[in-house]
Structure 1
């Protein structure tokens, strides 16, 4: 009878575990994928990292499901940018104990590196968007912090500190992971600086004002941005305004993002000599792993170079 009960218990346990997704078991949950890149490098071989936001969803207007709430409650550590970026996380994160959450924008080391957003600049240029571009900033600063290699390094240091507090028995492995991340980041940074250096002075436009940290770090030369809502086809007058600015400013490229429909990009560039490119600020196709953040930075560099060089 004891053997039978043991078998029944084992079968019941297996059924329970099979019904739980890998994300539900994850000990670190990040709001968006690039933060998962950083966390997975620090936690490699120690604990799992998972991403809350599904590929293709927007961090600006995502609505949490009940299963997401459970994932946040069960996480060992929750990492997010902050309330100005992921408003959907404000309430559930507020209920978590302080040792189990980390908002990157609140780090004392990060605050001095914040750069101003350009929502005000949009309004000055008469860009009345269907969805307010202030949704991307919710304040004075650009919140796309993961696009700064230096902020990514400081974030890794903070994540490491949190994990050492939570898992002191893994301190040696976490120390080694952080050292490796910093070394690989420095090596990648030098390589990408060399790759992007010849592109300085080549003007371009982006649709989404997300790349300021990356552009500032590598000395790129954006001429402006058009925050066209990908869900709504711009009218003829708006497309004419954009085309006129592209020609007047002698732009080499205009960059979209994966969620923008190609028809919008083609309509903007038609009748100009401007090349079309794509930038992915979330690293959608990159899997989590110890090298994923440097892969993300490298992918962006290739995306800039392929259009600006005309490759």
Structure 2
């Protein structure tokens, strides 16, 4: 009887035991990066997300629940102060007990410099591309080519420019799948060191993630192949990495810094640039005022569409990154294919 009872007790303990050791408390800043972390932690634990729903890191304000999450965190992942400026001081005061990992500094990233002004000059994709760091082929560094606007196209909105005090690089690095790979590698390395008991599981998840990224990269190239020579305008200059990876033609942006809405002079300037370059589509973003797109395309043959580079409309989780990138490719193809 005792042996039977002991066997039942042991079986109960075995069934109740988790498949993996308890994961560390991980906090992530924004949805695209959260998706990368969730992919590496899949089956082990779930990271917490700060910028939820349709909010944007460009305009986000910390909540008490965010502060509590940072105080309890063992590891915090963010892109860096050039993107999530709202986190800069809280990480110094609230995240003192956590390992803070700035993925914008991950080894192997192909980094592109900021480009100033919303109405860029025409793109020449026939030139040999190169990233700021030797991350991978196919990247152009537009930092010098787009350092200024055409003569006489001065902005009335003097503050409608990036404040580059935190650095010289565009922080939307995840929009190149190869950069997502580099970030995921740093995420796996960090988690394996913080949680050695689950190191093998993190490594296996990274291998699965990389295979999915390779398939995504090939699919996106095929999706935009037929429309990559058609110029288009975006809401804010967030797409350099996608642009350089797949050689699509972003002709300009409505605003450089989404924290500051453009004035009448900039809108007129962008409208003129649309006509001059023959931009076929102007893309809004769900986090910002869509009426501006209607104003910009008024009197031009351009059509409107929507791109969501921060995945504000998608549910957080491991699949979000792949859905976000596929949606960007599909939106570009749909609008540009239908435009004359």
TM-score by length of 1: 0.83
Unaligned runs of 5+ in 1: 1-24
Deviation at 1:137, TM superposition (A): 8.1
CA distance in 2 between counterparts of 1:277 and 1:56 reads 18
Question: 2:31 maps to which residue?
Answer: 33
More helix by share: 1
Residues 121-167 of structure 1, C-alpha deviations (whole Å, 9 max, x = no match): 58644234475331488432111112121111011011111111121
Alignment of 1:250-261 (within 5 A): 250-261=278-289
Alignment of 1:158-307 (within 5 A): 158-227=186-255, 234-235=263-264, 237-307=265-335
Deviation at 1:299, TM superposition (A): 1.0
Measured at CA, do residues 221 and 41 of structure 1 come closer, stay the same or move farther in structure 2, by a change above 3 Å? Answer: same
CA distance in 1 between counterparts of 2:170 and 2:261 reads 24
What is the aligned-residue RMSD (CA, Å)? Answer: 2.5
User: Is this contact kept in 1: 2:156–2:266, CA < 8 A?
Assistant: no
Question: 1:60 maps to which residue?
Answer: 58
Unaligned runs of 5+ in 2: 1-22, 118-145
CA distance in 2 between counterparts of 1:287 and 1:61 reads 20
User: Is this contact kept in 2: 1:252–1:275, CA < 8 A?
Assistant: yes
Deviation at 1:238, TM superposition (A): 4.2
CA distance in 2 between counterparts of 1:287 and 1:136 reads 31
Measured at CA, do residues 196 and 243 of structure 1 come closer, stay the same or move farther in structure 2, by a change above 3 Å? Answer: same
User: Is this contact kept in 2: 1:129–1:227, CA < 8 A?
Assistant: no
TM-score by length of 2: 0.76
- 2:112 maps to 1:115: yes
User: Is this contact kept in 1: 2:160–2:261, CA < 8 A?
Assistant: no
